[in-house]
Amino acid sequence: MVKGIITGDLVNSSNIAARYRQIVIDSLNAAVKDFSMVTPIRLEMFRGDSFQAVVDLPQQVMTVAIALRTKLKASTPDKLATWDARISVGIGEVSYESENIVTSDGEAFRLSGRAFDCIGKKRLVFSSSNQDLNEAVELNTRFVDDILSELTVRQAQVVYHCLLFPGKTQKEMAEDLNMSRQNFSSVWSSAKGRLILDYVENVQNQILNPNSR
């Protein structure tokens, strides 16, 4: 079965004090819970600062990946360097899925793992067995990665909420976040939120229609 696999680790995890570790874990689990209404997701932490997630609907894997990053950023306590993660997304067959994600296997796991090993200074990469798909997604992913890496806590909160409720109006989302419409619009614009949502939709379409290019 084709699924999406996320392999990631926390950026500068050694600088995150022990008293905040549970908040980090809770933020990742909260994102999984929130986006489980979009697709079944399983996430597992290992080695203290690393994690893997299985996303059943592969077209939703980039949505989940961005949600994990923005939720981490949005959960950062005041006056701390913004939390973030390096994430490698892989799409392919999952031939063996055990109770423990890290002992599961298949093409998607290998693609995600290999791309993560070569991630370098990037914080978001995509890999599949379809080279045309990889090329179609790669450039835009680099741009979105740069945008996500620069988000403030407030911008990340807005982007996360819009990812979760893409059908809501700006007025409704402003009310949800206890913001004025004007303030929401300003934060949304500075976060380049529309570009992020358009990117997510484009990747979904590319995955669902790999031969349409």
pLDDT in tens, 25-76: 999 999 999 999 999 999 999 988 999 999 999 999 999 999 999 999 999 9
* CA 177, chain centre distance (Å): 21
Q: For the segment 149-174, what is each residue's pLDDT rounded down to a tens digit?
A: 999 999 999 999 999 999 999 999 99
Using the CB atoms, write b or e for 22-52: b if 16+ within 10 Å: eebeebbebbbebbeebbebebebeeebbbb
Which residue shows structure tokens 């979904």?
Answer: 204
Average pLDDT, the chain: 94
Is residue 85 pLDDT above 80, yes or no? yes
CB 124 within 8 A of CB 53: no
The model's pTM is: 0.95
Q: Which CATH architecture has domain 2-208?
A: 2-Layer Sandwich (3.30)
Each domain of the chain, given as residue ranges in start order, spans 2-208
Amino acid letter at 54?
V
Cα within 13 Å of Cα(20), Cβ side? 17
Cα angle for residues 8, 167, 36 (degrees, 5° grid): 40
Beta strands in the chain (DSSP E): 2-10, 41-46, 50-55, 85-93, 124-128
